Amino acid sequence: MTLFDTKPYDFVQARKRRNRIIAIVAIVLVCAILAWNFRHYPQEHAVDTFFAALQQQDYEKAYGIWNHDPDWKQHPQQYAKYTFQNFAQDWGPGGEWGLIKTYHVDGSAVPTGGNGTKFDVASSGVVVVVTVNERVAQKAHVWVEKSDKTLGFSPF
């Protein structure tokens, strides 16, 4: 077979190949954008579940979510640093937020230093921002550990 015996250029096949490449690139871009936008979804979901329990005034369930231990009543001595009574004072009707009637998880972020570098502690968790009882000026900042989904007060 010589150069003159080759098949003619197939424009239809070339267009199909180009369209497949464009489709694959578009799918990869959409997946990357979705992965970036939902990278903190597990932490935001934990906070959403926590505030849903507070809204229903199920403080025992909320305390279990806070410690990521639904069976916390079986071993309360493990949580002697932040007892259920302390939790009820902070998050109950007499706490800073009062009875939680409405809430909205606004978003989450990994805190950075002033020069744009991440704090050492920030690599272990995420700060989730929540609007509680439609207080726009003052928002709740909840720290969520990435490793075990325990909640805490934000150090930032």
What distance in Å separates the CA atoms of residue 94 and residue 120, rounded to the nearest whole number?
34
Q: SS3 of 144, please?
A: strand
pTM of the model: 0.78
Question: For 111, what's the count of Cα atoms within 13 Å in the CB-facing half-sphere?
Answer: 20
Q: Where are the beta strands (DSSP E) in 6-154?
A: 103-109, 125-132, 140-145, 151-153
Note the pLDDT tens digit of each residue in 95-153.
888 888 999 999 888 887 544 444 555 468 899 999 998 888 889 899 999 888 889 88
Phi-psi region of 9 (alpha: psi -120 to 50; beta: other; left: phi over 0): beta
Residues 125/144, Cβ–Cβ less than 8 Å: yes
Residue 123: per-residue pLDDT: 64
Average pLDDT value for residue range 21-25: 97
Does residue 56 have a pLDDT over 70?
A: yes
